[in-house]
Amino acid sequence: MRNCLSEIRSDAVDELRLAVDSLAASPARGGAGGVDVDVPDRLAAVAELCRAVDGVLDSLVVQAAAEAAEEGWTAARMASEHAVYYARLQRALLPAGAGGQGDAGLKKQ
């Protein structure tokens, strides 16, 4: 298979970098003088980072599945060989409203 990481869209990587930067800019603890930490902002930054990581992982598993399909792998073979990967793939392929990217047209045989 080709190197999937090199094919992840640059906008997804940029989004991930922005989420990491946002989290880094939010202090984890009060600074000198007992300044209160803005917990809701920090939690929002963590949630955004999780969403960005999920998006990158979804892209990676879908790309890997497409490459495996090009090499003759069926969805059933992916499921039997790598159950955890296949579960993540199924999650990534859920319709957008259900938390995934949508069906990539894989057939289960």
**With contact defined as beta carbons under 8 Å apart, do 56 and 7 qualify?**
no
Which residues have CB under 8 Å from 50's CB, separation 6+?
Answer: none
Q: What is the number of other CB atoms lying within 10 angstroms of the CB of residue 91?
A: 16
Band (pLDDT 50/70/90 cuts) for residue 29 is: low
**Mean pLDDT, residues 53-80 taken together:** 93
**With contact defined as beta carbons under 8 Å apart, do 86 and 78 qualify?**
yes
* Residue 15 pLDDT: 83
Band (pLDDT 50/70/90 cuts) for residue 90 is: very high
Distance CA(100)–CA(64), nearest Å, equals: 16
